[in-house]
Amino acid sequence: MSFVSPEVFAKQRLTAIQDYSVLSGRAVANLFSRPIYWADIFTQMDSIGVGSLPIVVLTGFFTGCVLALQSATSLTAFGAVSMTGNLVALSMVKELGPVLTGLMVSGRNASGMASELGSMKVTEQIDAMRALGTDPVRKLVTPRLAATVFMLFFLTIMSDAVGIAGGALVSVTLLGLNASSYFHNSYRALVYADVVQGLTKPLFSGFIIATVGCYFGMNTKGGTQGVGKATTQAVVVSSVFIIIVDFLVSRLMIGIFGR
């Protein structure tokens, strides 16, 4: 790792922020003008959404199982084991479901986007697209952005559902709770504000995953070694951004809805 002066470092970071903002803005603007590459969007939906479904379902299910198991231990001290459903539902819908789904999809797809576009960059395929009159941002970035935001929304719903189901399995089989009571308490614990908060986060997470992954892929340098570096950076940066934005969105939603 080469060391540079603080001035050069600051200029590099500001340039990176500027390039990222321009790329993101162009990708979003392309959604409202033609041509729109629908075939590429549907292909990315299959790759990102359907391909990520197994890991999202497994993560959500076992998170719900562990959450029920751990929370019951604490609630027993207060004689409130019957409230396990409330805690699992609120935790999964408001926080764990959206965040863990975003992190799982980030690890799988941000790296994939960076490596795929990075390989195209170092082999000059992107330059060839420009020479043929095709906008690489419209052809490569916009479909990935639209597909990631759209599919992550539904993946989060799936994660929430299987997480609550996992908590029900543990509560009924290991804790001896009534299944009907568990689901009734889970349903009563959730209000409109909780659902809105939980389903707003994946929209931001999807935007971050797609734009960060494509940014590092489109700016890859240094051959195959650069592709590996871009892949690592895409996963790390997108994961950190997801956690930061999660805090900001949570604070905003609490300020708006009061919970």
For 69-117, write each residue's pLDDT tens digit: 888 888 877 777 888 888 899 999 999 999 999 999 999 899 989 999 9
Closest by Cα among 101, 100, 97, 102 to 195: 97
Task: With respect to residue 187, please indicate whether it lies within any of the assigned structural domains.
Answer: yes
| pLDDT of res. 1 | 52
Task: With respect to residue 148, please indicate whether it lies within any of the assigned structural domains.
Answer: yes
> What percentage of residues in the chain have a pLDDT greater than 70?
98
Single-letter code of the amino acid located at 58 = L
Host domain of residue 225: 33-257
**pLDDT for 181 beyond 90:** no
Single-letter code of the amino acid located at 177 = L
**pLDDT for 2 beyond 70:** no
The total of structural domains in the chain comes to: 1
Task: With respect to residue 14, please indicate whether it lies within any of the assigned structural domains.
Answer: no
Task: With respect to residue 15, please indicate whether it lies within any of the assigned structural domains.
Answer: no
Task: With respect to residue 120, please indicate whether it lies within any of the assigned structural domains.
Answer: yes
pLDDT tens-digit profile of 7-28? 888 888 899 899 999 999 999 9
Task: With respect to residue 27, please indicate whether it lies within any of the assigned structural domains.
Answer: no
Task: With respect to residue 82, please indicate whether it lies within any of the assigned structural domains.
Answer: yes
Q: Is the pTM of this model over 0.95?
A: no
Task: With respect to residue 164, please indicate whether it lies within any of the assigned structural domains.
Answer: yes
Would the CA dihedral through 11, 230, 240, 49 be positive or negative? Answer: positive
3-state helix, strand, coil in the chain (%, to 5): 85, 0, 15
- Residue 24: strand, helix, or coil: helix
pLDDT tens-digit profile of 162-174? 999 999 999 888 8
| Confidence band, pLDDT 50/70/90 cuts, at residue 245 | very high
Find the mean pLDDT for residues 27-37.
91
